[in-house]
Chain A
């Protein structure tokens, strides 16, 4: 099912400095079907990937060994880990939530909960690991106890499919975003909706009479000051995939949309993943409509800089292409990828990240200069694309 790993870098002996501009491919793992998501476990041992089949793949990052997690009855596009890395939780599009042991030699689902009617779109662990939050096509948010899978709370309020959720790092609130681009804020003590922030991450295609939108990824910054939501905007032709990728930055305190992270040009596509790097930059994963991919790097301080714009009467004014968007932040570096990039996850040591690709590969990139000796030893090293 998968081809042998191609690792070109042994673990760093001497740690080279983080330099996003020098990001280069460090490893690649191949699967036969396009991938939908990938996550690296908190201990940095494995990279897991969901695919357009019923399997979740697990590769050992060091040895490249592949184990397949079987037992899902539909696709998986979201997974998360207990903070200690022991447990893996997967949410699949048949509405089920599964528990797995992360390093199980022969993985099997140890618990299943029917989390939603229709897709279970997202699963996220609370910062203390005690709770799991899921959202799904029954428009519900549900909170489960991580240890026994008991339903702790459920929140209704979304009028269309919520796509993703995240816990605030202080554990007091949960956020969710739906198809219409509404970001809901839930107070977890009272299990109550306390705010709903509209964003431009949605569009209605008049010709085809269909809505498109929602968060493909959601992440708080580690300090909890801002929330990043990856998705789409400016829907021109929903059925052809002609819309713009966007990562919306929301200020937690003011509950206002601060900025829009956009690619360098007006490329159409979808933003599938976003992560905050401790060294004050933000990484985003974008699939382009033409089948190529982009990994973009934005400066965090630019992402939080307020822009004074006039109240526009035209509601669609903000849904503009990148060049015309007053809130746009352009990346300081972009990596071109030869396949659609459908997600992004940061390794716990912050030196690497992994992306799932349409061509079935997980690619691991290292954000440092390439170690000189490896270039000689490994021979052909794939060059990072120019930015």
Chain B
């Protein structure tokens, strides 16, 4: 059985050449496979100040009710399409606000993950690799290679009230792991213990720093410095408490006062203030029953706040340096079941992305007339993962910057969707 993990990167191709030439591996001489380590990412990317905004429509938004509608066909459902700000691109009528900003986005309509499982689909979309293997999520990868050394805000924030377990950093430093906010609330433990004044807290911090200085004076510094840095960050976070809680009335009017609107507003604030990856989860889309009524409700909640967020990011001149993606773990079946529902469908569905490094207004790939299969440019989570990173200027074909290990950042078996990159 062929596994999709074969390696096509330059170092592997070189190795293959040597292998096929029949040269024994050990003791070959000048070119030793053992010494070949492939390019490693340096810290040179930091300082570019790029970021990523992820909007995760949890449960599997129906591509037929969003990005790839097929009105009037056998499985088309009751909705019609609307034109968008990009001539030739039509999306479902349930996304009127987003349609007006289509020129800021592109669509990939040809995703086939070969899985219909929530957990597997989600992992594949986040890690760019199939299965439970220990790989970091794209948010952690981006945080590692793009966030500034002394990040004032958490590098990777995930706003969600859904209790899904995400092990985002894997073998990367824990500082690149997501910080989860249960809605528009401050992170845990951001307030000083009761009755402790700011002055007293500062005195404690000073004392602690002194102790560390003394301890470190004749010991290896790296670990202690790292530990110290986390307290500095903590102090910074404490002083930014307001960021997580206060939302302007005027802005709430624009974004909408329901939860998702508030999340989007918080997301904008965090991106503006320096978080490298902000992920907002909107649930739920797993509409095995009453697919149409629920998509009316959920997409109505999604459409305006998302469009407002996208437009705000663009208006602030941030879109050039912000990758935006709207995604799920799979799409939904063309066939409508007996409960007016659509079931899981990982074999032919879509996502939307735009911003940094992405060619706007493009449509990549296509499904057939009924939406039952991909007929052009089939891609999976691996291709998409490469694409996100390449768009942000991260060489996804390189190995992770981890001493002692050679782990390719993206799956070497696949490549980015080059025609989507600006």
A and B are interacting partners: yes
Q: Which residues of A contact B (CB under 8 A)?
A: 34, 52-54, 73-75, 93-94, 118-119, 137, 161, 205, 207-212, 238-241, 287, 289, 291, 339-340, 358
A75 touches B284 (CB 8 A): no
How far is the CB of B57 from the nearest CB of chain A, in Å? 12
| B100 interface residue per 8 A CB criterion | no
Known: A54-B72, A75-B78, A209-B283. A241 touches B296 (CB 8 A): no
How far is the CB of A205 from the nearest CB of chain B, in Å? 8
B336 touches A74 (CB 8 A): no
Query: Which chain A residues border B341 with CB–CB below 8 Å?
Result: 239, 241
Query: Which chain B residues border A241 with CB–CB below 8 Å?
Result: 288-290, 339, 341
How far is the CB of A159 from the nearest CB of chain B, in Å? 13
| B382 interface residue per 8 A CB criterion | no
Query: Which chain B residues border A358 with CB–CB below 8 Å?
Result: 338
A34 touches B286 (CB 8 A): no
Most B CB within 10 A of own CB, among A54, A73, A161, A239: A239
Known: A34-B338, A74-B79, A94-B80. A240 touches B284 (CB 8 A): no
Q: List 15 A-B contacts (CB under 8 A).
A: A52-B77, A52-B78, A73-B80, A75-B78, A93-B78, A94-B80, A208-B283, A209-B259, A210-B298, A238-B290, A240-B288, A241-B290, A339-B338, A340-B339, A358-B338
Q: How far is the CA of A339 from the CA of B295 in the complex (A)?
A: 25
Q: How far is the CA of A161 from the CA of B293 in the complex (A)?
A: 10
Query: Which chain B residues border A75 with CB–CB below 8 Å?
Result: 77-78
How far is the CB of A371 from the nearest CB of chain B, in Å? 33
How far is the CB of B296 from the nearest CB of chain A, in Å? 7
What residue in chain A is nearest B297 (Cβ atoms)?
Answer: A210
How far is the CB of B303 from the nearest CB of chain A, in Å? 13
| B59 interface residue per 8 A CB criterion | yes
8 Å CB contact of B284 from A74, A118, A161, A239: A239
B286 touches A239 (CB 8 A): yes
B59 touches A118 (CB 8 A): no
| B244 interface residue per 8 A CB criterion | no
Known: A54-B72, A74-B79, A240-B289. A210 touches B294 (CB 8 A): yes
How far is the CB of A244 from the nearest CB of chain B, in Å? 13
How far is the CB of A59 from the nearest CB of chain B, in Å? 22
In terms of DSSP, what is the predominant structure of the interface of chain A?
loop
Known: A209-B283, A239-B287. A34 touches B336 (CB 8 A): yes
Q: Which residues of B contact A (CB under 8 A)?
A: 59, 72, 74, 77-80, 259, 283-284, 286-290, 292-294, 296-298, 336, 338-339, 341
Known: A94-B80, A208-B283, A239-B286. A289 touches B298 (CB 8 A): no
In terms of DSSP, what is the predominant structure of the interface of chain B?
loop
What residue in chain B is nearest A241 (Cβ atoms)?
Answer: B289
What residue in chain A is nearest B290 (Cβ atoms)?
Answer: A212
Query: Which chain B residues border A339 with CB–CB below 8 Å?
Result: 338
Q: How far is the CA of A210 from the CA of B302 in the complex (A)?
A: 13
B336 touches A52 (CB 8 A): yes
How far is the CB of B271 from the nearest CB of chain A, in Å? 24
A238 touches B80 (CB 8 A): no
Q: How far is the CA of A94 from the CA of B336 in the complex (A)?
A: 19
B78 touches A208 (CB 8 A): no
A211 touches B283 (CB 8 A): no
Q: How far is the CA of A10 from the CA of B266 in the complex (A)?
A: 69
A340 touches B284 (CB 8 A): no
What residue in chain B is nearest A270 (Cβ atoms)?
Answer: B339
A208 touches B289 (CB 8 A): no
A287 touches B72 (CB 8 A): no
Query: Which chain B residues border A137 with CB–CB below 8 Å?
Result: 296
What residue in chain B is nearest A358 (Cβ atoms)?
Answer: B338
What residue in chain A is nearest B341 (Cβ atoms)?
Answer: A241
A208 touches B339 (CB 8 A): no
How far is the CB of B332 from the nearest CB of chain A, in Å? 11
Most B CB within 10 A of own CB, among A93, A94, A241: A241
8 Å CB contact of A74 from B80, B286, B287, B290: B80
B290 touches A208 (CB 8 A): no
How far is the CB of A142 from the nearest CB of chain B, in Å? 19
The 7 A-B pairs with the shortest beta carbon distances in the complex, nearest first, are: A241-B289, A208-B284, A241-B339, A75-B78, A93-B78, A74-B78, A358-B338
Query: Which chain B residues border A340 with CB–CB below 8 Å?
Result: 338-339
Query: Which chain B residues border A205 with CB–CB below 8 Å?
Result: 284
Query: Which chain A residues border B284 with CB–CB below 8 Å?
Result: 205, 207-210, 239
Query: Which chain B residues border A73 with CB–CB below 8 Å?
Result: 80
Query: Which chain A residues border B297 with CB–CB below 8 Å?
Result: 210-211
What residue in chain A is nearest B336 (Cβ atoms)?
Answer: A52
For the complex with contacts A239-B59, A289-B289, 9 further pairs of A-B residues with Cβ separation under 8 Å are: A34-B338, A73-B80, A74-B78, A75-B77, A210-B297, A239-B289, A239-B290, A287-B339, A339-B338
A289 touches B339 (CB 8 A): yes
Q: How far is the CA of A291 from the CA of B298 in the complex (A)?
A: 25
What residue in chain A is nearest B284 (Cβ atoms)?
Answer: A208
Query: Which chain A residues border B338 with CB–CB below 8 Å?
Result: 34, 287, 291, 339-340, 358
How far is the CB of A54 from the nearest CB of chain B, in Å? 6
Q: How far is the CA of A238 from the CA of B79 in the complex (A)?
A: 21
Known: A289-B339, A358-B338. A239 touches B80 (CB 8 A): no
A118 touches B296 (CB 8 A): yes
Query: Which chain A residues border B290 with CB–CB below 8 Å?
Result: 212, 238-239, 241
How far is the CB of B112 from the nearest CB of chain A, in Å? 24
Query: Which chain B residues border A240 with CB–CB below 8 Å?
Result: 288-289
Q: How far is the CA of A289 from the CA of B339 in the complex (A)?
A: 7
How far is the CB of A88 from the nearest CB of chain B, in Å? 20
Query: Which chain B residues border A212 with CB–CB below 8 Å?
Result: 290, 293-294
What residue in chain B is nearest A240 (Cβ atoms)?
Answer: B288
Q: How far is the CA of A74 from the CA of B339 in the complex (A)?
A: 18
Q: How far is the CA of A54 from the CA of B74 in the complex (A)?
A: 10
How far is the CB of A314 from the nearest CB of chain B, in Å? 25
How far is the CB of B65 from the nearest CB of chain A, in Å? 12
A208 touches B296 (CB 8 A): no
How far is the CB of A227 from the nearest CB of chain B, in Å? 23
What residue in chain B is nearest A74 (Cβ atoms)?
Answer: B78
Query: Which chain A residues border B72 with CB–CB below 8 Å?
Result: 54
Query: Which chain A residues border B80 with CB–CB below 8 Å?
Result: 73-74, 94
How far is the CB of B58 from the nearest CB of chain A, in Å? 9
Query: Which chain B residues border A119 with CB–CB below 8 Å?
Result: 78, 296
What residue in chain B is nearest A93 (Cβ atoms)?
Answer: B78
Q: How far is the CA of A75 from the CA of B296 in the complex (A)?
A: 15
A238 touches B294 (CB 8 A): yes
Q: How far is the CA of A116 from the CA of B78 in the complex (A)?
A: 15
Most A CB within 10 A of own CB, among B77, B259, B296, B338: B338
